[in-house]
Every structure is written in structure tokens, then in C-alpha cells.
Amino acid sequence: MIFADEPEPGQPLPILPGHSSSGRFERVLRAGGFAVTAELAPPDSADPADVYARARVFDGYVDAINATDGSGANCHMSSVAVCALLTRVGYSPVMQISCRDRNRIAIQGDILGAAAMGVANLLCLTGDGVQAGDHPEAKPVFDLDCMSLLAIARRLRDDGRFESGRKLTSRPRVFLGAAENPFAPPYDWRPLRLAKKVAAGAQFIQTQYCFDLPRLREFMARLQDLGILDAVFVLVGVGPLPSARTAEWMRRHVPGVHIPDAVVRRLAGAADPRAEGRRLCIELIQQIREIKGVSGVHLMAYRQEEAVAEVIESSGVLAGRVPWYPGRDTKPHQQHKAAS
């Protein structure tokens, strides 16, 4: 599948009929492509070169790059700033918005500002509590939650009005997303909650890490039964685990992460756990792609960002497609060594 009509930086694509944004990410999904997104950890830095260095490791392998917003309630460069830098050179960012740190006045201003800088994708999150991060003495805001944030963002886009009712002179043309976790109880409630997010405005979903395929299949079947899959694109969260010790730590300390005992045993018994973790991630992606209703994967490879290219290439999910990146059409794509 070829998506040839790529924009130059500062020159957005036209908005196609039935699309909410001019972004390439939405185009890939609506054209039926299997989309790949990855998470960029914002630097503890004021140097834009640090952002570009982190983005370049994804060149040619992802359709959009998530810029986290104080993930884990830890302080880093702001999501809106990272997205502004990425759009400046033509990358397609997903701006994460957490309700933890800003009220509805500031959030609506950030949405307008981001759209003005070319950001086409928003991921609406409630956010982690401040007690989880490096500033536990900070005062949380939580003026909104993910549901009300989605509704406000949709009102800005579709009705051209602030939450107060005041009219905009120009609407933000954005593709709206939310997060979901099929792997945390109560399992029967998760599809119903996702249905509410879709009703509030979510057009794409990125899930928590998936290491439990049977649970994912049950979740997707339930979405099918509810008639949701025609209304939302589901990208399943995946990531390479470097060791059994890391897997144990994540399932004990990261809320909502479910890692079966069999996965921990496999890593513990491997001669090279890091390589085994990447092989496991590749296998999961290949099997996830075959599940009805899945539209893509979202890679979260914290401190292993260099593994994203290897994992995606070895999985074969792009089927020869090379997602656009700055300079793609003027220099050859560097193939990464496949995992053994």
C-alpha cells in the first residue's frame, strides 16, 4: 500500500472527505493500513536537538510519534513543545494531554495552540496521580477526566465553541484518541467504558501493554458484539521486555500492567533475555495483527527505543510500506538488522 501524497513541513495535506484532520496517521488508518505508533520520552532538556535525536530512531518505521505528557507524574519537556518541534520538520506527532496538571482553560488553549502548529492527533488521558512521580508535593488539578476532555475537544472541533459556549474563529482539525486497558479487571466493564469514550469523541484507541492474547481476543470480540469496531480504530500496546526482573517490577509497580507467569519464565530461562524479549514482542505483533478489529500497534519501548525499528522490520507488519519521515524521498531508507 502506497501513500504518496506526503506534505512538506508547514504544508498540510488537504482534509479528505470523512476525515477529521489532515494528518497522515488518520489517512493510513482510514485507508486500511496497519498503523504503527511509538512513544517518545520527552527529554529532561531545553535543547531541541535532544528531541530530534530521539525521533530519528523511528524514521521509516512509525506512522506517528506519541509525545508523553508528564508520564508517571514525572517532569520533562512539555508534550506541546515536543509536538511543536516534531511538526516543524514534518513528523506526525500524537500529543498526549493529561488532566492532572491543567484546568479546562489551559487545556483548551493548548489544543488550539497545538493545532495552530500543525498537530493533528490528540490522545486524551486522565493522568497519573502526583504521588506516583518525582514531585509528590505538587497540587493535582483534575478539573476534567478523559471523558469530559474528549467531549470538550470534540466541541472545539465540531461545534467551533469553547466549553463556555464562546465561538471560535477557526476550529482545530484534530483526530481524537483515548487509552484503554483490556488487561485489568473488571474485564466486563472495560468494553463498556471504551464505548463511553467512543461516544464522547474517541476515534482511535491505544491500549496498555499486551502480553495476554486470549484476554485481548475476548476484549475485541466484546467490542464487536457492542458494534464499536466500526466507530473506532484500536491500536494494541506492545513493547520489548529486557529481562524477567523488569517484567516482575512492571507487573508489581506499574498500574494496569498484566504480564503472565509464562512470559516471566520465558525471559528468566533465556540465554539472552534482551533478545528473547524482542523476539516475544515480534511474535505478539504478528499474532495481534490477525485479530479481527485491530488496526495497528503502539510500541512503548522505554529506554529501548532503538529496538523499535528491529521489532517492526522483523514482524513484517508494514508489508514493505515505508512511513514518511524527514528526508525519506531524498535519501535511501536504512534497513536495520533483523532480530535473530
Q: Which of 54-58, 123-127, 312-316, 324-328 has the lowest mean pLDDT?
A: 324-328
Distance CA 6, CA 12 (A): 9
pTM of the model: 0.93
Instruction: Tell how far CA 33 is from the center of its chain.
Output: 16
Question: 104-116 and 146-154 are packed helices; what angle lies between their axes, rounded to 10 degrees?
Answer: 50
**In the structure, what pLDDT confidence band is assigned to residue 75 with cuts at 50, 70 and 90?**
confident
**In the structure, what pLDDT confidence band is assigned to residue 178 with cuts at 50, 70 and 90?**
very high
Distance CA 70, CA 320 (A): 34
Please check the confidence at residue 339 and state whether its pLDDT lies above 60: no
Ordered by start, the domain boundaries in the chain are: 24-239+287-315
Q: What are phi and psi of 48, to 5 degrees?
A: -60, -25
- The answer to whether residues 258 and 249 touch, using CB atoms and an 8 Å cutoff, is no
Exposure string of 169-184, with b = 16+ CB inside 10 Å and e = fewer, is: eebbebbbbbbbbbbe
Q: Which of 85-89, 134-138, 164-168 has the lowest mean pLDDT?
A: 134-138
State the pLDDT at residue 10: 56
> Is the previous residue joined to 186 through a cis bond, with omega within 30 degrees of 0?
yes
Residue 4 DSSP class: -
Residue 322 DSSP class: -
**In the structure, what pLDDT confidence band is assigned to residue 5 with cuts at 50, 70 and 90?**
low
Best CATH choice for the domain 24-239+287-315 from the list 3.20.20.220, 3.65.10.10, 1.10.2020.10, 3.40.50.300 = 3.20.20.220
Mean of the per-residue pLDDT values of the chain: 92
DSSP 3-state of 297: strand
Distance CA 218, CA 57 (A): 34
Q: What are phi and psi of 85, to 5 degrees?
A: -65, -40
Q: What are phi and psi of 242, to 5 degrees?
A: -80, -20
Distance CA 138, CA 130 (A): 6
DSSP 3-state of 251: helix
Q: Which three cell numbers stand for residue 123?
A: 490522545
- The answer to whether residues 202 and 124 touch, using CB atoms and an 8 Å cutoff, is yes
- The answer to whether residues 94 and 25 touch, using CB atoms and an 8 Å cutoff, is yes
Distance CA 52, CA 56 (A): 6
* Closest C-alpha among 317, 314, 287 to residue 33: 317
Our CA dihedral for 203, 206, 208, 212, rounded to 10 degrees, sits at 90
State the pLDDT at residue 74: 81
Q: What are phi and psi of 179, to 5 degrees?
A: -105, 155
Please check the confidence at residue 68 and state whether its pLDDT lies above 90: yes
State the pLDDT at residue 8: 59
Please check the confidence at residue 180 and state whether its pLDDT lies above 50: yes
State the pLDDT at residue 268: 97
